[in-house]
Structure 1
């Protein structure tokens, strides 16, 4: 359990733009920052970060919160886990108190798997550096490949012993359960016996965005053809292959800085490029590229450069994955290494500057690359060339940007020496087909008969529902609570113009309490009570009090009301056109909001009172009491109607 004062230190240190910036590429827009939402798939940015308020808000999916909420939502952490992550990021020491039995019980499978994976990482690293077997087999292999010791330690590489169950026995002796050993895939259980999955292999830990180990890859060093060269962790509660990229946790900052991500195939490609000073590189770890992996990269950049070895068959096999990148609106370039070379081998044979120069000078856009590669195979065969044209047009049709598509058409027309308009006509045909695809192949019998739905009856408004008026009052408190307003004193003398000055919070809280109004929604009442206490103690709560509140419902409400989707362009000021703001009329807006709430509350009371009257004997004393109450309530409501300038209706 983390002490309260430590929690406050963490909250004070956390800067929302830095926390979110570790996961999302942000660009400044006015006083706020804008990026693609990490919580839903979007191509037009609607995810806003406000450094001044310390909050984030997505106007697409509605997700909102503070730095802690963001880490919890993005990494699926518990509240304590998110606090520990932020404490580590900002160098705050956390001296935790002994958790209660109830808190221990709340440990999840994810917590246990993360803990076990970290233990395994330390075990494999220790075996590599501290045991004779590890140094003789594993460390010597890495050193022979040219990896420096600092790079080996940076990637936390290790070695799994040759014995059948050394790791499993060690983990069990250290209190880790058999269930999580099997669930993580570190241990295989068969016929009542247990043995290590990664026996006699050099180990490559796979990390998530925050650097937590989620799985492993193991490479065998013997020439035994009966065993696979690489073995990977099976999928688990914390490891999903299609959503993971090797090296992303070390690459993300460099990807943002260079606005480009180098995509390679294997672990050693990533490690060699890092050793050469190129850090904006990740690997798909031998799996086919997935949409989720592309979206993971798109959080940091819209540009991907794929580094290929010289194997044409492998390149063609990856074409579908690259089409998926284009479909996501990403920009793709390709670098083809010489025959017999891959990024790992080339990096080991050349200096860092030579490697960077080679990548820079040999980057080609994917459409042109694909066209040239396949064109060589047509051998001037018209049929093959026609087939190639259709394939290239299909790839270009996947690009969502209608401005970029014609540019690629022009480039391909020059390469294939064919009329640009011919390719454009084929592209338009394909685009029209895609648009009509949903209607193709449907017979008349398959089209359902139209269902005629009667227009909805216009419902009378529910005047007992005060939620809109309550929300408006809470909005005034959160946005303008500490601002000063000038209020005209009520007087029977129309010529008397006396005013007093007070804060928005003091006016609202005092008026509502004097009228004995309570909020129907408990959430609104909690916010109101916080302001009322602040008015009484002369210490009004600020925005941060609510955006960093322990109650997530209060946090969401505050952020929803404090966030603004649009900002006024500075161009209006430059051309000297003044646009009125709500703050300009608070002297009238705030009292009107309170009066509107009172009016709705009185209307609700009148309706409830009249409903009760219908159940009573008109000659009874109770009915007479209700009639007196009805007259009193209507008189009070009519008085408020006059002050609001509304038409009186009895």
Structure 2
């Protein structure tokens, strides 16, 4: 797929996207020697085996064997195609792409550009209605009652949709937008009798929903009267721009604050989120009235591995918290709970008690399992065996989802203390739950990653490490080493590509080799050798030694083959003579030396 883009375009995008910067927006990287390490996002593990090499712009996981350059990482993490990964990285640094061959891709890009333009223009239209149109008066009054400041209205670009059934239909027509495009954007709905269209959003306060770059991709509309015979909120449907289960409201404005704070606050609604911002808590996001999904958890994990759930204390809030919780635990995210006391939600609590009180609520958010243990004890009768067992089972079930021995041990001890039993008894019951989980739902611990492709013989891997980590050796290797000497097909391919680059007057980087070798197994081989931190002292001496040993091993294989053919009883005399001469030549080759590389190359 790299052929869709010119080499220069890919190199420009790669150079502008430092791999450490890109990956650190998704994972918390820690420096180790010359590399950075993290827990691998592509398989479950307890100790870091995911390495990022800043100098060679390569990553590699020694656990699951995935590796490659910055494009490969985005493909794997975002689960997108190579062209889409290129587009995402180009957008990240403001590079405009010229799609050179992919007509379908160009059509999709044009459609999305027209949709972005439409969404931006209707946002401005609804902002104007809210600011100064008579149709926006109910929304202005509602916001005043809720205490939303003019600054917040501007920051979040709030708007108002007029109550007419055809306001957006007529507005779009006046701006030259085709009805089919406006329907694709989720703004209008086709009438069942085929006689035309009507507006989706009517007489509602409008919250624009943005992607992480701040572009409007959808809308959420809230009714303005409590007695309205319709849903309180409606959201845009699924469109080419908007996928509700993969979007948080407010993330475009909070992602920097989340990184700075080290955790994300998750609340329930748009007005709650705006109130949090007004109270000085900017590291906050809100799902869009949908069940919390694995995509939501993965999106949050890009920015932090800790979340504070700030939901209402009523039954609906508790259920929403429970839905989010298990998915967050499965994703390896630490969860705390900032419980807003009844009868408040975050918005009303801030209006009544002030910003400082809310900030304190978030600061002092309780570890989820401490909160959960207290809640279980409040709803189950600890005076009965049944009640104690329910507490034990519920704590164990969720604790085991963390797959973290320290967390499990800590809260097993607390559970034992509350129930008045021994820690050994609690741990024993947890082990039974773990075994039951394996039987009922598969293994409690993740299955080990699939074994990687067969590694090259040590000598051939040694050669690859020398060439990938010391590119100045490639000219000498191209003159004195034959790829035929290598037995491992992947290693031989990598060496051949290195030599091809050299013949074109280029010393290839590991990242360039990844693009030239699209097979995942070969990308993994390149990345593993490129990030390997084992020392390679005196590389010019080492490559000469490796070359001699590879050549001699190849000669030995040729000699053995000649001897086997000489042992054939029906061999003709001319063929026997030719084989004897070949043997003599091979033995002579084995006695010749190789010149060392020029030290000046280093």
Give distance in 1, aligned partners of 2:577 and 2:173: 79
Aligned equivalents of 2:23, 2:391: Cα separation in 1: 44
CA distance in 1, matches of 2:228, 2:166: 22
Contact 2:276–2:347 (8 Å) recurs in 1: yes
Q: Deviations over 1:24-63 (max 9, x none)?
A: 2222222222234444555544332222222333334444
CA offset digits 1:461-492 (Å, max 9, x no partner): xxxxx99987765543222232xxxxxxxxxx
- Which of residues 476, 481, 494 is equivalent to 2:471? 481
Whole-angstrom distance in 2 between the partners of 1:86 and 1:585: 35
Q: Does 1:368 align with 2:370?
A: yes
Q: Give the Å deviation of 1:342.
A: 1.1
Query: Larger deviation: 47-56 or 469-478?
Result: 469-478
Aligned to 2:296: 293
1:338 aligns with 2:353: no
Cα distance change, pair 377–38 in 1 and its aligned pair in 2 (3 A): closer
Q: CA deviation at 1:528?
A: 0.8
Give the aligned partner of residue 156 of structure 2: 155
1:185-207 deviation per Cα after TM superposition (whole angstroms, max 9, x unaligned): 44433332433333333333444
- Name the counterpart of 1:130: 128
1:467 and 1:237 map into 2 onto residues whose CA distance is: 48
Partner of 1:16 in structure 2?
Answer: 19
How big is each residue's C-alpha offset from its partner over 1:500-527, in whole Å with a ceiling of 9 and x where there is no partner?
xxxx333322224799999986664232
Aligned to 1:630: 579
Using the size of structure 2 for normalisation, the TM-score is 0.77
* 1:54 matched to 2:52: no
Name the structure 1 match of 2:477.
Answer: 508
2:117 is the alignment partner of 1:119: yes
In structure 2, C-alpha distance between the alignment counterparts of 1:597 and 1:233, rounded to whole Å: 66
Find out whether 1:66 has 2:33 as its counterpart: no
Structure-2 change in CA distance of 1:527 and 1:144 (3 Å): farther
Residue in structure 2 matched with residue 107 of structure 1 by the alignment: 106
What is the deviation of 1:608? Answer: 10
Q: CA deviation at 1:229?
A: 1.0
User: What are the equivalent positions in structure 2 for 1:522-601 lying under 5 Å apart?
Assistant: 524-534=495-505, 541=507, 543=509, 546=512, 552=518, 556=523, 559-564=526-531, 567=533, 581-584=535-538, 586-593=540-547, 596-597=550-551, 599-600=553-554
Per-residue CA distance 1:383-434 (angstroms, 9 max, x = gap)? 66334444344444444223332322333444x4x3241x651442242243
Question: Do the aligned partners of residues 293 and 82 (structure 1) sit closer, same or farther apart at CA in structure 2, a change above 3 Å counting?
Answer: closer
Structure 1: gaps (5+ residues): 442-465, 483-503, 535-539, 569-580, 645-650
- How far the C-alpha of 1:126 sits from its partner, in A, is 0.9
Task: Decide which of 244, 254, 257 is 1:254's aligned counterpart.
Answer: 257
Matching of residues 211-250 of structure 1 within 5 Å: 211=214, 213-223=216-226, 225-235=228-238, 239-250=242-253
- In structure 1, C-alpha distance between the alignment counterparts of 2:325 and 2:485, rounded to whole Å: 65
Q: Residues 413-456 of structure 1: CA distance to partner in whole angstroms, max 9, x if unpaired?
A: 44x4x3241x6514422422431555589xxxxxxxxxxxxxxx
- Structure 1 residues 103 and 603, CA gap change in structure 2 (3 angstroms): same
Residues 1:354 and 1:284: Cα distance change in structure 2 (over 3 Å): same
Higher relative contact order (CA 8 A, sep 6+): 2
Partner SS state of residue 278, structure 1: coil
Partner of 1:146: 147
* Residues 401 and 627 of structure 1, relative CA distance in 2, 3 Å threshold: same
Bigger radius of gyration among the two: 1
Larger mean CA deviation between 142-151 and 514-523 belongs to: 514-523
SS of 1:318's equivalent in the other structure is helix
Report if aligned partners of 1:118, 1:212 keep a CA contact under 8 Å in 2.
Answer: yes
Contact 2:206 2:219 in 1 (8 A): yes
Shift of 1:295: 3.5
C-alpha distance in 2 between matches for 1:120 and 1:174: 9
Distance 2:359 2:71 in 1: 39
Kindly indicate whether residue 1 of structure 2 is the aligned counterpart of residue 34 of structure 1.
no
- Residue deviations 1:69-97, cap 9 Å, x none? 4445545667676566556544x575x66
Q: Answer yes or no: is the 8 Å Cα contact 1:35–1:46 preserved in 2.
A: yes
Relative to structure 1, the CA distance from residue 204 to residue 43 in structure 2 (aligned partners, 3 Å threshold; closer, same or farther) is farther
RMSD over equivalenced CA pairs, Å: 4.5
Residue in 2 that maps onto 1:419: 420
Give 3-state SS (helix, strand or coil) of 2:52's partner: strand
Task: Measure, in 1, the Cα distance between the counterparts of 2:551 and 2:414.
Answer: 65
CA distance in 1, matches of 2:394, 2:486: 70
